Amino acid sequence: LVLVCKKVKACVSLGRCLVSCPSLTCADRNLLPYIIPYSCFPVLERAFSSRKAHSARDMEGPLQLVRSLVPPLSAQKHKGQDGRIGVVGGCQEYTGAPYFAAISALKVGADLSHVFCTREAAPVIKSYSPELIVHPVLVKCISKEAPRLASAVLGRGSCRLVAQHGSLLSQGILEASRARDVPVVIDADGLWLLAQHPALVHGYRRAVLTPNHVEFHRLSEAVVSSGPVDGTDRREAVRRLSQALGNVTVVQKGEQDVLSDGQHVLECAHEGSGRRCGGQGDLLAGALGVLVHWALLAGPEKTNGSSPLLLAALGACALTRQCSRQAFEKHGRSTTTSDMIAEVGPAFRRLFEP
């Protein structure tokens, strides 16, 4: 059957059985390339590489700390104790990003999820889900709600070109959040704003930035003054950017997510999928908004001396990758962010609950 198999999927299934077989000797393993069709063997090698297993073992300790941050469910709690999350973003052209972030926050376990958006975007975002509290954004509305928020997620679909409702809005809520010690997760257009005005976040230890490759490069050029950033050493580059911003937590998204608070550097190598549909960063930002709140609420006795924001970021990265993996197993190339969001509950239980 193996010799005539032409489907990689069948070969991978066979390879999983063979590689995990406890009675397989070293000599037997050396024969695998001859037993399995040669064109399929690189797939097996990637799927069962020792480096991937080693990375998973390395992550188990930090993920155990993340598990300790998850608050227990209790009938004695009141609505809002597990988090009121505010997502700032959404304009006429972009309504999906703030929705994905806000609904992901609810799926992870926040009690309430607010969206502050432009007037044109509000009815559209409202129509996506009755579970979101959508505000046609007004400065006085933000000022009223900001003190009640457990965390704020800035920059999702903010339409930087609409300065009055985009950048100025993000700047206003960022300043209001910082004045009240509200944790903030900043991505997308919020990062573009910080490249212009890095002082807005400099030294604010309750901020987490989640740049992709392009956003990271733009930020580094704007704030890192100690020579050019070596793009080949991602760990050092992320650490230097964090330090240049006053040790805020930075998560550079990529094949492996690299996280730093300026002192420590972590990598999230949790297996995801090869699908790169738009919206995965929105899921990450929404999940991170909740986990940051829980991490700060848990206190130092639960974080074992580790940075609470760094642990929260690691948990959000691992959860996003697990959602991607589970969705891809069901939908393959057609996987979208909506499919991933449907996996948040099962993925969360698998990673963080007994």
The answer to the question of whether 217 is labelled as a binding residue is yes
The answer to the question of whether 89 is labelled as a binding residue is no
The answer to the question of whether 286 is labelled as a binding residue is no
Helix intervals (H) in 154-212: 167-179, 189-196
Give residues with Cβ within 8 angstroms of 253, minimum separation 6: 210, 211, 212, 213, 281, 284, 317
Which residues on adjacent β-strands are paired with residue 116? 88, 135
The answer to the question of whether 275 is labelled as a binding residue is yes
- Token pair listed for 286: 């929404």
69: closest CA among 294, 285, 305, 286?
294
232 neighbors 205 (Cβ within 8 angstroms)? no
85: closest CA among 154, 161, 178, 159?
154
The answer to the question of whether 206 is labelled as a binding residue is no
275: closest CA among 209, 349, 343?
343
The answer to the question of whether 100 is labelled as a binding residue is no
The answer to the question of whether 218 is labelled as a binding residue is yes
Q: Phi first, then psi: what are they for 129, rounded to 5°? A: -160, 135
The answer to the question of whether 265 is labelled as a binding residue is no
The answer to the question of whether 253 is labelled as a binding residue is yes
State the Cα angle at 272 between 329 and 9, rounded to 5°.
Answer: 40
The answer to the question of whether 257 is labelled as a binding residue is yes
The answer to the question of whether 280 is labelled as a binding residue is yes
Kindly tell me the sign of the dihedral angle through the C-alpha atoms of 56, 57, 58, 63.
positive
The answer to the question of whether 51 is labelled as a binding residue is no
The answer to the question of whether 281 is labelled as a binding residue is yes
Distance, in Å, from the CA atom of 174 to the CA atom of 202, rounded to the nearest integer, reads 12
The answer to the question of whether 277 is labelled as a binding residue is yes
The answer to the question of whether 255 is labelled as a binding residue is yes
Residue with tokens 């994905």: 100
The answer to the question of whether 181 is labelled as a binding residue is no
Provide the terminal-to-terminal Cα distance of the chain, rounded to the nearest Å: 39
303 neighbors 336 (Cβ within 8 angstroms)? no
The answer to the question of whether 134 is labelled as a binding residue is no
Distance, in Å, from the CA atom of 156 to the CA atom of 88, rounded to the nearest integer, reads 7
Distance, in Å, from the CA atom of 149 to the CA atom of 82, rounded to the nearest integer, reads 11
The answer to the question of whether 83 is labelled as a binding residue is no
Binding site, annotated residues for ATP: 253-257, 272-281
Binding site, annotated residues: 157, 212-218, 253-257, 272-282
Binding site, annotated residues for (6S)-NADPHX: 157, 212-218, 282
